[in-house]
Structure 1
Amino acid sequence: MKKILYISVVLFSFSSIFVSCKKNSVISSISRDDLFSLKYGNFENQINLFDLAEYGDTIPTSMAMKGGFFYISNGESKKLLELNSYGDLLTLYHNKEENPAPLFNASVGNSVGVSPKANEVTTKKVIEYPFNCPSKICVDSKQGLYVVEVLPVERQENDGKRTLKQVVLRFNNNSFIDYLGQQGPGGTPFPYIYNIYTTANNELVVICIVPDGHEVFWFSETGYLLHNILINTKDAPNPLDDEEDRTTYLKVENIIPDNKDYKLFVKIDYYNPVIDETSKVQSSVEFNSTYVYPLDAKTGKYGKPVQIPGYEEVITQGFSKIVYKNPYDFLGVSNSNWLFFTITTPKGYIVQIVDPDGSRIIKRLLEFNNDKILFQNFSVSGEGIVTALLAGKEHADVVWWRTDSLLDSLVNK
């Protein structure tokens, strides 16, 4: 009888054991555009990333790009920045108790030396809000801002299993509207929010991590709950059921909404146990395969999946050769439902882009020096542009890779 176990998977790194490693094939790089840089500090056009070690993997800083404008949520400094592609600050949302009063000077160029044109009129706005710790951020087509916020301790709730302490703040027309909880405006705080997204219909999708897996809250443009889906790990589909009788481990790695339809893309990684030949005891796990399933947000039913190739690394030592496969991370989905995946390499990131039915796959290297990057936040726009906030020792760079041109060339063939 087949036995399926569902546990959290810990991957082990074997690269330090071997003498050398090389890739199976050369992957072409795509040119990177360095748009602007932000200095560290407390002034209005700076961000605070001084306490990275304190936050670990939950650093409350993220960036979104919409229509060539960049929106940065910086939890440490309790503020949000809206900037254009030259790095000019357009709107500052900040906690005035935690930040100095802004000293706007339109004649000052940005930190990469690009000054505003002589006839350019720069209008900067300041919106005050008592932020506690803003983190994830997204933007809709009307430039409405959504940001994850942590409530003060006295406003947090407990459902008997966990503390509910996060909400999603809404801003529009440069003013605060309200906050969304599980039921909508003013609702119960959410469990831990993994990410938030907006769709082409200006609907908000909130992805939460819960004890049984993931819970998705899908809201209308006006903020009212349309769909609530629990993606239970133990009920997730397993294509390896039809294979030989063996234990299988799976992990729901990420969930991203479709931009137009009430559909979710659920990425699941599958692993096999590794049995030590001497002791006959399981010593670790090894990656088997990745599938992305479309899930109907109305019915909760899974559709036909697309298999996503893993990243293969060839390790050689003398005359022996071992091939290791690792899963890519699920980065995002374009408006035309191309699926974007990334994985870290010594030279930067490899982005793997897969069309909706899995028939076409393109890979490109996004070059940057990992050794000099202290923190990174990647995202992909609806057009298919990969953007990143890359934080080094002295400043943070905002960059993008025009991967949308790759998609255009394939679609127009």
Structure 2
Amino acid sequence: MPLNNKFTNSKFDIKTYNGLVYIAEIKTNKLMIFNSYGKLIQTYQNGIFKTNPDLKIKKIDFEGIQAIYPLKDFIIVADKLNNKKSKFNQKENIAYFMRILILNKNSSVEILGQEGLNGMPFPQIYDVNVDENGNIAIISIYSEGYIIYSYNKEFSPLYKIYVNKNLLKTIDNQKKKYNISIDKVFFEVNKKTLYVKTTYYENIGDNENINDLGIKIKDQYIYKMSLKKNKELEVINKIALPKNLLDDKQESFINIIKIQKDKIIASTNMKNLSNNLIWKLDSKGSIKEQIALIEPPNLMFLSESLSKDGILSILYGGKTGVSVYWWNLNALLKL
């Protein structure tokens, strides 16, 4: 299971695509689309809400919207089913209670499941990766790690991959010395390339709480793996992430925001850190660029995302509502 940090467990999800801002409000089962000036131009919501004639409102049968992934021709929505529709496999010890909704531009809605359209529900959905060819990887999380379900652009199933501690045990004996967390998984379907970010750590006592996670971080790595024809994974690169980022005698937890164009975009999650530090790392884990984002005062971090065109969006909450801040990492980090 991944280590908890400030980038998870938000009641909002935010994404940007082609100059538009997509915000899902988990509590109200609502998806809102804004233009770059902050004007609400489209809403998807359940039928329990009244129609507003001043807005384009599309009523969708959301059961428990969790995350959104806007694309050119449709929007992917991770939707949590109610208990009556969920399934539990006692032998696998896995609960299947999430579906993928495909919201098409023509207002039609399709449901993606494990076997393709109208298939069985997924376990808890952790992330969705879409490559440049339109292939989709649904990354689900369960008690032992992750299950990756991948599909082509016609939503036909391709590969099913398990990423867990047993997999890492076969490729790295460091597990014997420390606890291990699998924090992030990315899968490029067309390249059959898998990235796995891990943290090796030791538990510490209450009086040694030196960071937000309450652990002593020893090492952090990204494993780059290739899916072979026999469907086995082969490690082609082990990237050691930087240590002592802030020279403060403690290891920073490194959050991987995205891996694109062989560049690693990461940020730190430090105790009592007022600024958000963003790093660009090369394929060897070396720092190439770094910036400090001055975060707005008196606002609380809610959610963040990095678009394919290099725009970092961070959603903050305050007493009067929420605010979205953008940074062009193409210019700041030379992506």
Q: Which moved more, 1:230-239 or 1:177-186?
A: 230-239
Once the two structures are superposed, the pairs formed by residues 338-349 of structure 1 within 5 Å of their partners are: 338-345=263-270, 346-349=273-276
Question: Any idea what the Cα deviations from partners look like across 1:36-59, whole Å, max 9, x if unmatched?
Answer: xxxxxxxxxxxxxxxxxxxxx634
- CA deviation after TM superposition for structure 1 residue 204, in Å: 1.9
Contact persistence 1:333–1:382 (CA under 8 A): no
Contact persistence 1:339–1:353 (CA under 8 A): yes
Q: Which runs of 5+ in 2 are unaligned?
A: 206-213
CA distance in 1, matches of 2:287, 2:167: 30
Contact persistence 2:117–2:155 (CA under 8 A): yes
Question: Any idea what the Cα deviations from partners look like across 1:248-289, whole Å, max 9, x if unmatched?
Answer: 2221111123386222211011225679xxxxxxxx852122
Q: Secondary structure at the match of 1:235?
A: helix
Which residue of 271, 287, 301 corresponds with 2:217?
287
Contact persistence 2:240–2:284 (CA under 8 A): no
The equivalent residue for 2:311 is: 385
CA distance in 2, matches of 1:239, 1:158: 31
The equivalent residue for 1:180 is: 112
The equivalent residue for 2:209 is: none
Question: Any idea what the Cα deviations from partners look like across 1:117-173, whole Å, max 9, x if unmatched?
Answer: xxxxxxx63221121221111122x23100110123322222122431111100111
Once the two structures are superposed, the pairs formed by residues 229-240 of structure 1 within 5 Å of their partners are: 229-236=161-168
1:394 aligns to 2:326 (yes or no): no
Contact persistence 1:247–1:273 (CA under 8 A): no
The equivalent residue for 2:289 is: 362
CA distance in 2, matches of 1:227, 1:387: 31
- Amino acid of the residue matched to residue 188 of structure 1? M
CA distance in 2, matches of 1:330, 1:268: 10
- Amino acid of the residue matched to residue 159 of structure 2? H
Aligned pairs, how many? 319
- Amino acid of the residue matched to residue 208 of structure 1? S
Contact persistence 2:78–2:98 (CA under 8 A): yes
1:139 aligns to 2:70 (yes or no): yes
The equivalent residue for 2:211 is: none
- CA deviation after TM superposition for structure 1 residue 186, in Å: 1.1
**Which of structure 1's runs of 4+ aligned residues deviate more than 4 A?**
7-11, 237-240, 272-275
Cα RMSD (Å)? 2.9
Once the two structures are superposed, the pairs formed by residues 57-206 of structure 1 within 5 Å of their partners are: 58-97=9-48, 99-104=49-54, 125-140=56-71, 142-160=72-90, 161-206=93-138
CA distance in 1, matches of 2:9, 2:204: 31
- CA deviation after TM superposition for structure 1 residue 326, in Å: 2.0
Q: Which runs of 5+ in 1 are unaligned?
A: 1-6, 12-56, 105-123, 276-283, 316-322
Bigger strand fraction: 2
Q: Percent identity?
A: 20
Q: Which moved more, 1:303-312 or 1:81-90?
A: 303-312
Question: Any idea what the Cα deviations from partners look like across 1:372-406, whole Å, max 9, x if unmatched?
Answer: 33341111111222111111221111111111113
Contact persistence 2:290–2:333 (CA under 8 A): no
Q: Secondary structure at the match of 2:331?
A: helix
- Amino acid of the residue matched to residue 164 of structure 1? Y
Q: Secondary structure at the match of 2:262?
A: coil
CA distance in 2, matches of 1:211, 1:326: 25
Larger-gyration structure (1/2): 1
CA distance in 1, matches of 2:125, 2:313: 22
Q: Secondary structure at the match of 2:108?
A: strand
CA distance in 2, matches of 1:125, 1:379: 25
CA distance in 1, matches of 2:300, 2:183: 23
Q: Secondary structure at the match of 1:130?
A: coil
The equivalent residue for 2:143 is: 211
CA distance in 2, matches of 1:181, 1:203: 15
Contact persistence 1:311–1:327 (CA under 8 A): no
CA distance in 1, matches of 2:243, 2:78: 32
The equivalent residue for 2:262 is: 337
Contact persistence 2:252–2:269 (CA under 8 A): no
- CA deviation after TM superposition for structure 1 residue 85, in Å: 0.9
- CA deviation after TM superposition for structure 1 residue 365, in Å: 0.8
Provide the TM-score with structure 1 as the length reference: 0.70
CA distance in 2, matches of 1:182, 1:390: 34
- Amino acid of the residue matched to residue 368 of structure 1? E
Tell me: CA distance 1:77–1:272, structure 2 relative to 1, closer, same or farther (3 Å): closer
Q: Secondary structure at the match of 1:325?
A: coil
Contact persistence 2:129–2:188 (CA under 8 A): no
CA distance in 2, matches of 1:254, 1:132: 26
- Amino acid of the residue matched to residue 236 of structure 1? L
Tell me: CA distance 1:60–1:149, structure 2 relative to 1, closer, same or farther (3 Å): farther
